Amino acid sequence: MSANNASDLPGVSDRLAYNAMRNWKERLIETVLLAAAAISVLTTLGIVYVLVSESFHFFQNVSIIDFLTDTQWTPLFDDAHFGIMVLISGTLVSSGVALLLAIPMGTIIAIYLSEFANPKVREVAKPILELLGGIPTIVFGYFALLVVTPILQFFLPSLPGFSLLSAGLVMGIMIVPYIASLSEDAMRAVPMSMREGAFAMGSTKLYTAVHVVVPAAISGLAASYILGISRAVGETMILAVAAGMQPNLTWNPMEPAATITSYIVQVALGDLPHGSIGYQTIFAAGLTLLLITLVFNILGQWLRAKYREAY
Amino acid sequence: MKPLTTEQIRAVIAKGKFRDNLFKAIGVFCLAFALLVIVALIADMLLKGAERFTLDFFLNFASRRATQAGILSAWVGSLLVMLVTALAAVPLGVAAGLYLEEYAKRNWITNIIEINVTNLAAVPSIVYGLLALGIFVYMFGFGQSILSAGLTLALLILPIIIVATREAIRAIPAMIREGSMAVGATRWQTCHYHIIPYAMPGILTGVIIGLARAIGETAPIITIGALTFIAFLPPVPFSEIDGGGSAGLFDWVMSPFTVMPIQIFNWTSRPDPAFEVNAAAAGFVLMVMVLSMNAVAIYLRYKMRKNIKW
């Protein structure tokens, strides 16, 4: 109290005035730091605001029923159709291909590194995996289109130049490091005593890994898979480069197709006027994408809460 | 149950060992395959792009003729965008991390911020592009400029820097704070003279990893409408400009631009195979940039783990 009034009082030492200044400065700094932390909340609000407000204009012109059930996506033609299923199918097929590769491979690498490899191999392999995770996706896109597609065409002559298959496979390779690294962390966190218990009962290493360590680490594994799914669904450049950009309602990975993300890129590359319906479609597509990732994340959190085991 | 004979027990053990070894082989194979892909990727770009690694490639603008095209505007653009990103994201991220670790009380505001940071890390990068298109480009009127791109990428890597800062601060033992406060330091003085300097290596690691991520991001920058063909550089401060007069100190932030990943995308999507060579060469340059940044970060982390003992 006295510190606050110190400066008004005559004859009070400068030191109290200095303290008052100091308290005021502390308060100010705390407020500035809080403001910086609040930027993250503002970002979320900004994302929701932009996507919802532009999509709102979009849905004034296009009914939600059409949006969800139409089987054509031709927003820039005169005869415009807005069936988001067309883009969702491309997203799901490419993500499916990627995850079919990435989840088994990532899990095997994680089990190997955590349960079988000697510490030296692990010390070297983990940083290299992290490096692999840092490679820009546009480089993977180049790789998918100009290296992987020709190799696949050698085995599957009917594969077109753009396909969900080659984009999906490269996307899988891109996701492997995330899954391997996170799953390995989760399995290493399982206490040694559990493994020792299993070994004492005569289990082999593999049996211990599969029947003791993996169940104990399952919530961490689920979290890594969910991250992998989010990456796959939101991946853009590999698909924009290697999967072709024409909308195509298909469940066949051998065909080219547009995804939600590659459609946004395609529109952004062109020159659509601000406020036109074509401009609004990318926000409706973005909102759909965000909702899909949100659903997977909520599912992941629910799974984690359900199967979480604490030691 | 009948007890097993010695032979049967040996057979069971042999089967178990065989399965262990089989799995080990599969594990090594998967790991080797993943590593092989990086090697193949780098080797392919290096070999295919080798003929373009001349000084001209770095000093020429984009061109319709593949052999004369270069990456000058792309690498300059990437550097300038990274400058804006770092200037925005580093102070914000460190301040936010510091607040959450050192100041925040356990209340609902803190909870909301923490949940937010976690969830933002899972938002696809192209959604940040849409955010920037709506807010920075049109609402704030920054247009399709270096400023818009830099701020977009800053928001994108903010969670990475916040998390790294928090982890670095959390590793500092409480006695450091207690010692500082015992001699009369305020909270901010403790942060300024102790917490921030000691957390610096960890923060730096996070910043480098974040910037390495940002420099390779393509989708959000395409979304805000970066041009793919730029044959000029942003105005140098105080230089003469065509219309007369001289450029201001910050004119470059509002300039149109292109960046390395967009240049690669542009060259990759052209049908003419001559441009594939350019794409390979530019891709190799980008890979070297990103991988060396990551390697520095990993090295820093390794050093840190070895040196610091409280």
Q: What is the pLDDT of residues A172-185, one digit of tens each?
A: 999 999 999 999 99
Q: Are residues B77 and B144 in the same domain?
A: yes
Task: Report pLDDT for B26.
Answer: 94
Q: Are residues B24 and B107 in the same domain?
A: no
Structural domain boundaries, residue A283: 85-307
C-alpha dihedral, A149 to B293 to B217 to B60, nearest 10°:
-80
Residue A298 to residue A307: CA distance in whole angstroms: 14
| Angstrom distances, CA of residue B273 to CA of B258, B268, B280 | 22, 9, 11
Number of domains chain B is built from: 2
Q: Is B245 helix (H, G, I), strand (E, B) or coil?
A: coil
Q: What is the pLDDT of residues B226-243, one digit of tens each?
A: 776 677 777 777 666 665
- Mean pLDDT calculated for residue range A129-145: 88
Q: Are residues B35 and B93 in the same domain?
A: no
Q: Are residues A102 and A244 in the same domain?
A: yes
Q: What is the pLDDT of residues B112-143, one digit of tens each?
A: 888 888 888 888 999 999 999 989 988 888 88
In this structure, is residue B15 part of a structural domain? yes
Q: What is the ipTM of this complex?
A: 0.86
Q: Is the pLDDT of residue B303 over 90?
A: no
Q: A240 is written with which tokens?
A: 């924009």
Q: Are residues B108 and B26 in the same domain?
A: no
Residue A52 to residue A80: CA distance in whole angstroms: 22
In this structure, is residue B154 part of a structural domain? yes
Residues A72 and A83 sit within 8 Å (Cβ to Cβ): yes
Phi, psi of B240 (to 5 degrees): -70, 140
In this structure, is residue A53 part of a structural domain? yes
In this structure, is residue A80 part of a structural domain? no
Q: Is B70 helix (H, G, I), strand (E, B) or coil?
A: coil
Q: What is the pLDDT of residues A191-220, one digit of tens each?
A: 999 999 999 998 999 999 999 999 999 888
**Residue B138 neighbours by CB under 8 Å, 6+ apart:** A274
With CA atoms as reference, report the closest residue to B213 among B149, B289, B284, B304.
B289
Give A141's contacts in chain B (Cβ within 8 Å): 265, 268
Structural domain boundaries, residue B218: 53-307
Of A195-209, B167-181, B291-305, the poorest mean pLDDT is in B291-305
Task: Report pLDDT for B151.
Answer: 94
Which CATH number is B96's domain given?
1.10.3720.10
Q: Are residues B223 and B102 in the same domain?
A: yes
Cβ under 8 Å to A: B residues 257-276: 261, 264-265, 268-269, 276
Q: Is B10 on the interface with A (CB under 8 A)?
A: no
Q: Are residues B42 and B111 in the same domain?
A: no
Q: Are residues A153 and A247 in the same domain?
A: yes
Q: Are residues B165 and B295 in the same domain?
A: yes
Residue A72 to residue A63: CA distance in whole angstroms: 14
Q: Is the pLDDT of residue A289 over 90?
A: yes
Classify residue B141 by its DSSP letter: -
Residues B162 and B117 sit within 8 Å (Cβ to Cβ): yes
Q: Are residues B288 and B198 in the same domain?
A: yes
Number of domains chain A is built from: 2
Residue A183 to residue A43: CA distance in whole angstroms: 29
Residue B113 has its nearest CB partner, among A25, A40, A235, at A40
Q: A20 is written with which tokens?
A: 């008052």
Give the position of tokens 């990086």.
B38
In this structure, is residue B107 part of a structural domain? yes
In this structure, is residue A76 part of a structural domain? no
In this structure, is residue A295 part of a structural domain? yes
Q: Are residues B28 and B92 in the same domain?
A: no
Q: Are residues B108 and B42 in the same domain?
A: no
Residues B225 and B258 sit within 8 Å (Cβ to Cβ): no
Task: Report pLDDT for B23.
Answer: 93
Q: Which amino acid is at B72?
A: L
Q: What is the pLDDT of residues B177-216, one digit of tens each?
A: 999 999 989 899 999 999 999 898 889 989 999 999 999 9
Q: Are residues A149 and A254 in the same domain?
A: yes
Say how many CA atoms lie within 13 Å of B56 toward its Cβ: 8
In this structure, is residue A71 part of a structural domain? no
Q: Are residues B86 and B31 in the same domain?
A: no
Give B37's contacts in chain A (Cβ within 8 Å): 132, 173
Q: What is the pLDDT of residues B141-152, one digit of tens each?
A: 888 889 999 999
Give the position of tokens 């009917």.
A158
- Mean pLDDT calculated for residue range A109-126: 90
In this structure, is residue B102 part of a structural domain? yes
Q: Are residues A235 and A277 in the same domain?
A: yes
Residue B94 to residue B164: CA distance in whole angstroms: 9
Q: Are residues A195 and A277 in the same domain?
A: yes
Task: Report pLDDT for A1.
Answer: 45
Phi, psi of B255 (to 5 degrees): -80, 145
Residues A166 and A242 sit within 8 Å (Cβ to Cβ): yes
Q: Is B116 on the interface with A (CB under 8 A)?
A: yes
In this structure, is residue B126 part of a structural domain? yes
Task: Report pLDDT for A310.
Answer: 65
Q: Are residues B178 and B294 in the same domain?
A: yes
